[in-house]
Structure 1
Amino acid sequence: MSSAATRPAGPDDLWSVDEHLDDILATVRPLEPIELQLLDAQGCVLVESVTVPVSLPPFDNSSMDGYAVRVADVAGASEEFPAALEVVGDVAAGAADPVRVGPGQAARIMTGAPLPPGAEAVVPVEWTDGGLGEGPASGMRARSLAPEGAEGQVHVYRPVEARAHVRAEGGDVRAGELALEAGTVLGAPQIALLAAIGRGTVRVRPRPRVVVLSTGSELVQPGEELAPGQIYDSNSFALTAAARDAGAIAYRVGAVADDAETLRTTIEDQLIRADLMVTTGGVSVGAYDVVKEALSSVGDEDEAGSGVEFRRLAMQPGKPQGFGTIGPDHTPLLALPGNPVSSYVSFELFVRPAIRALMGLTTLHRPRTRATLKADAALRSPRGRRQFLRGRYADGEVTPVGGAGSHLIAALAKADALIVVPEDTESVEPGGEVEVVLLG
């Protein structure tokens, strides 16, 4: 059972939002670190700081296609009086033993190629005749017409300063410097840096595997025909997408009928690939007993400390909730209500922080801010309940979207924030200040 399972709870007892969340976060532990190949580590959290083994770039190299020259040899060069230099060879990217540039000489050089010994700067090919002796080159024309590997003369029409168009060794980061700190989430730029400094693998906490399943005999998969009394299953799609947005690897399971044995078997089958399980539906009065019966016998029934507790929270929407651990590995399970808005709000408040805790992140929650309520009428909220209303936030103002009904999916799709009305507040007038959870 979870850490707060010993808290007294009578049939009419209400848990606060904070008590329920604290219980979840006290139970969920970060996943054990593993070593992964770079691309497999995308989206994971680094568990050790990485230092740079070799400077980046590892050598002085050209930032342009052009000619490597000595500064003194092109001083005062102009279109009227160009500097004529002997081309002693080519320097391509990856060249291990470039030619040496002496007085009155130049080397044709490609972008990324090492600056050859003796050279002090690079003259872009556009500032030369491209080795053709026909006046200033026009960029692509010079590149395409210059005979590669040909030696001879090149005319330079502009002077350059020392180190011009040269990327300095260590100009990005130097050997021994910190590349990435522990706790960094690895996105594409971070993976690029790790690859650039030669790291093929990295030690991370893996992305949590989250299994999402919805319950309800009335649920039909999108794309199928609806019979009387049936509705499409939207919750499992919404919560799977939300879990992926939070950083998890999420698996969606098709809707399970209101049958305890079927639900129990389905959950047991899914435990092998779950670091966290999320169910939606069947936690309110009516279907409550089916879900409770199924979850009470999942996995090893004799495993000490396992079990799911069903609670009533002082919140709206999302009053009925379930939480605990199941199976021999004590896999955390959050049982959310079945109304679409209730399940989504519950996910944002409870499941998302749990996923981020499994990842080993320290920032678990969506950002919050204060905003001015922009509305035609006062917001009403039942005393003793913390209410979460959908809204749109912009420029310090928040506008309610849709009503308070927990079935209004279209309004949810238009919202980018949750308006929080505290337990001790029954009314918020237009122009009043409210707390806002930013979902975007």
Structure 2
Amino acid sequence: MRPAMKPLKPLDEALRDLLLQAAPLQGQDTVTTFDADGRVLAQSCVSALQVPPQDNSSMDGYAVRCADVTAAGVVLPVSQRIAAGSAGDPLLPGTAARIFTGAPVPAGADAILMQEDCEVLAAAAAEDGLGSVRINAVPQAGQWIRSAGEDITRGAVVLSAGTRLTPAELGLAASIGQHQLQVARRPRVALFSTGDELVMPGEVPPEQMRPGAIYNSNRFFLRAMLLRLGCEVTDFGIVPDRREATIEALRAAGAEHDLILTSGGVSVGEEDHIKPAVESLGRLDLWQIAMKPGKPFAYGQIPREVGTAHFMGLPGNPVSSFLTFALLVRPFVLRLQGVTKVAPQSTAARADFTWPKADKRREFLRVRHNAAGGLDLFHNQSSGVLTSAAWGDGVVDNPAGQTIGPGDTVRFIAFSELLA
């Protein structure tokens, strides 16, 4: 009598269990703010100053006292000229100060008039070269003034530990004087493929491929995705379909790496050696995930001299490997670096297609936006058709048991989210 099949593991449950194992890596790097794009902050950035440091003008124009301009047409002598990077004198009552964008507002002034609302009168003829100005609008107190500290207050946590740095965050760090940042060290990842059918592009021309051979596409997109996540990747190549070779590759990879990532060989066939090889060195959980494509997935740990190396085995079909990486490996790798928010953001979108047959698994359908703002479906949703991922701009996250008709609202996850 055949043993009963284990129930499929829900994707959310699998991700939860994975993240429980993803303790942030020990160790930090100090990098210049110039070189920190994509890295993850290990220490929060606290501002030692306020930004802006003092009230400043957001326009080229004239600084005035509102009490001196109660009606349009008032003429005031220009008492000083204040450029960005210089500090003016207190504004004398009954005068205006020529001021430029970013310049500190002089004491006593409480409004800025845009130069378009002002008319210069006889500046060249004036003895001091400043002349006078006619104010053609009545100012409101505080207009066109950036208040000191309106962006950042002294002592504020500007960027929290666990933040994945983007160009905007780098500029923000620089604005409070941070020329160096403490960031999480890069995860060290060993990558290899299994399968005697695999051939590397460039080794054999297409016309000379032996029967049953295929080019190894997974190795290319997995490496690229790991690099985008800030990993240091060691490529162990293609490991032959032999148990001894698989064990030796795992032992070597586990000694120096935080994570071992493989594709192929995670089923239970006679030529699938990953499971017994990992179990001979450590422990392995072989999961059947309730997602389509991408059912077979493995997680385990291999002890090393200090600590353990994580192991993840992805299915061999390229779309299955692509999506299990995006939905399971990517959050895990980010969590290793201390990132707390690892879930991709989804949006509601309109389906302009029909998906008439519901599946018992949660499906990820490759789609792209059309000119009308809806989603078109790639015609072939097979797990082996990598063209669907190159053609699409995202996936529809379709719940189990759900059909889709034209006009239905669906949950869309952009590839820009899954590949960031």
On whether the aligned pair clears a TM of 0.5, the verdict is: yes
- Equivalences for 1:8-407 in 2 at 5 Å? 13-14=5-6, 16-18=8-10, 20-32=14-26, 34=28, 36-37=30-31, 38-46=33-41, 51-71=46-66, 76=71, 78=73, 83=75, 85-88=77-80, 90-95=81-86, 98-103=88-93, 105-126=95-116, 127-129=118-120, 132-133=123-124, 151-159=128-136, 161=139, 162-177=141-156, 179-181=158-160, 183-202=162-181, 205-206=184-185, 208-222=187-201, 225-226=205-206, 227-229=208-210, 230-243=213-226, 247-249=229-231, 251=233, 253=235, 255-258=237-240, 271=254, 274-284=257-267, 285-289=269-273, 291-292=274-275, 295=278, 306-310=282-286, 316-328=292-304, 329-367=307-345, 378-379=356-357, 381=359, 386=361, 388-392=363-367, 400-407=377-384
How far has the Cα of 1:281 moved from its partner? 1.9
Tell me the distance in 2 between the aligned counterparts of 1:179 and 1:217: 52
Tell me the distance in 1 between the aligned counterparts of 2:411 and 2:147: 48
2:123 touches 2:129 (CA, 8 Å); kept in 1? Answer: no
- In the alignment, residue 54 of structure 2 is paired with which amino acid? F
Helix, strand or coil for the counterpart of 2:130? Answer: strand
How far has the Cα of 1:336 moved from its partner? 1.1
| Higher mean C-alpha displacement, 336-345 vs 397-406 | 397-406
Helix, strand or coil for the counterpart of 1:214? Answer: strand
Aligned-residue CA RMSD in angstroms?
Answer: 4.3
TM-score, normalization by structure 2: 0.74
1:16 touches 1:313 (CA, 8 Å); kept in 2? Answer: yes
How far has the Cα of 1:206 moved from its partner? 4.7
Tell me the distance in 2 between the aligned counterparts of 1:202 and 1:106: 43
- In the alignment, residue 222 of structure 2 is paired with which amino acid? L
| Higher mean C-alpha displacement, 197-206 vs 406-415 | 197-206
How far has the Cα of 1:59 moved from its partner? 0.8
How far has the Cα of 1:340 moved from its partner? 0.6
**Percent of aligned pairs sharing the same letter:** 33
Tell me the distance in 1 between the aligned counterparts of 2:131 and 2:337: 59
2:346 touches 2:414 (CA, 8 Å); kept in 1? Answer: no
Helix, strand or coil for the counterpart of 2:120? Answer: coil
How far has the Cα of 1:295 moved from its partner? 4.4
Tell me the distance in 2 between the aligned counterparts of 1:15 and 1:361: 31
Tell me the distance in 2 between the aligned counterparts of 1:367 and 1:71: 48
Tell me the distance in 2 between the aligned counterparts of 1:370 and 1:118: 52
How far has the Cα of 1:15 moved from its partner? 5.6
- In the alignment, residue 103 of structure 2 is paired with which amino acid? A
Runs of at least 5 residues in structure 2 that lack an aligned partner in the other structure:
416-420
- In the alignment, residue 345 of structure 1 is paired with which amino acid? L
Helix, strand or coil for the counterpart of 1:54? Answer: coil
Tell me the distance in 1 between the aligned counterparts of 2:26 and 2:177: 25
How far has the Cα of 1:333 moved from its partner? 1.2
Tell me the distance in 2 between the aligned counterparts of 1:55 and 1:273: 44
Tell me the distance in 2 between the aligned counterparts of 1:267 and 1:84: 81
How far has the Cα of 1:60 moved from its partner? 1.6
Which residue of structure 2 lines up, in the alignment, with residue 138 of structure 1?
A: none
Structure-2 change in CA distance of 1:26 and 1:433 (3 Å) = farther
Structure-2 change in CA distance of 1:294 and 1:203 (3 Å) = same
2:278 touches 2:300 (CA, 8 Å); kept in 1? Answer: no
Tell me the distance in 1 between the aligned counterparts of 2:233 and 2:223: 7
Which residue of structure 1 lines up, in the alignment, with residue 418 of structure 2?
A: none
Deviations 1:93-121 (A, max 9, x none): 332x5334424555443322222344444
